[in-house]
Amino acid sequence: MKFFKLIILFLSFQTYVLEKNEIESKLNSIVPKDIKVLKVEDTISPNFFLVELTDGSLFYVTLDGEFIINGDLYQIAKNSLVNLSDLRNSKERIKKLSQINKNEFISFTPVKMETEIYVFTDVDCGYCRKLHSEIENYLKEGIQVNYLAYPREGLESKTYKKMQYAWCSDEPQRSLTNLKSGKNIEKVECQETIVSKHYNLAKEFNARGTPTIILENGDLLAGYHSAKEILDLLKN
């Protein structure tokens, strides 16, 4: 379980701004021995540092090292609240997706691409099938769909085996389409670990179901969204 004992933790009576290494040293003195401070970063706010621990915990620390804040940090904009924490998560998601070899996706590419989305999919998921049945709509709107494998029932499930066959196939697009149409495909065995790699990445992104859609800007959408809905979201 990720370490975090208190939402607000008193650290010291100091009122001056601490250096990042001082923050790191102070926190390392109170966290469990098997956990360390991974990094201390500036934020868009002039009042907080962002801290990440080696167990993945994220929280904010005031510049004087007096308080820890556990939770999302919001900026009050003119007509709305901006979740600064999620903006950081979006950047991290895009960074990790950009590090994946494009050949690992099963992609459907429009003639003229306006944007692209990354879809964690399960071939036995009803809404995943609905999304794929509308693939031509996405392509007509200039949306490239890059599929990643996310068999919801795990890496020992029948769905995992079917998706492994699709990702090993010489015709992955056709194989994926057939599976989503309820058809059987050729059982192609290979040593690729792409499906398990995608599955673990979905878990890392805290995907709660399928489809999970990542927009080009890194925003995460849970569930089915039409091509029009996606374009409207990108305009906002």
Give the CATH number of the domain where residue 38 resides. Answer: 3.10.450
Residue 168 appears among annotated catalytic residues: no
Tokens (6 digits) for 199: 């599955």
First and final C-alpha spacing in the chain? 36
132 & 98 share domain: yes
Q: Is residue 130 part of a domain?
A: yes
In the set 122, 124, 129, 168, the catalytic residue is: 122
217 & 120 share domain: yes
157 & 62 share domain: no
Which residue ranges of the chain lie beneath pLDDT 70? 1-17, 77-82, 236
In the set 88, 93, 124, 125, the catalytic residue is: 125
39 C-beta neighbours (distance < 10 Å), count: 12
Among the candidates 50, 82, 114, a domain finishes at 82
Parent domain of 179? 94-235
Question: Quick one: what percent of the chain has pLDDT higher than 70?
Answer: 90
pLDDT at 11: 42
pLDDT at 32: 86
Total tally of structural domains belonging to the chain: 2
Residue 152 appears among annotated catalytic residues: yes
Residue recorded with tokens 């091509």? 227
Q: Is residue 151 part of a domain?
A: yes
Coil vs helix vs strand at 15 = coil
In the set 93, 129, 152, 168, the catalytic residue is: 152
pLDDT at 44: 77
Residue 190 appears among annotated catalytic residues: no
Torsion of CA 157, 96, 88, 53, to 10 degrees: 80
pLDDT at 94: 93
55 & 144 share domain: no
pLDDT at 81: 65
CA distances from 26 to 2, 58, 163, 182 (A): 19, 16, 48, 57
Q: Is residue 15 part of a domain?
A: yes
43, amino acid identity:
T
Mind listing the pLDDT tens digit for each residue in 7-43? 334 343 344 568 888 888 888 888 888 889 998 988 8
pLDDT at 13: 38
Residues constituting the chain: 236
Rounded Cα gap, residues 66 and 80, in angstroms: 29
100 & 189 share domain: yes
20 & 63 share domain: yes
In the set 88, 93, 124, 128, the catalytic residue is: 128
Residue 42 appears among annotated catalytic residues: no
Do residues 113 and 140 touch, judged by C-beta distance below 8 A? no
23 & 69 share domain: yes
Among the candidates 26, 53, 82, a domain finishes at 82
pTM of the entire structure? 0.72
Q: Is residue 89 part of a domain?
A: no
Q: Which residues neighbour 170 within 8 Å (Cβ) at sequence distance 6 or greater?
A: 188
How would you class 236 by CB atoms within 10 Å of its CB: exposed for 0-12, middle for 13-18, buried for 19 or more? exposed
228 & 171 share domain: yes
74 C-beta neighbours (distance < 10 Å), count: 14
118 & 229 share domain: yes
Q: Is residue 87 part of a domain?
A: no
Among the candidates 24, 57, 82, a domain finishes at 82
58 & 161 share domain: no
105 & 168 share domain: yes
98 & 209 share domain: yes
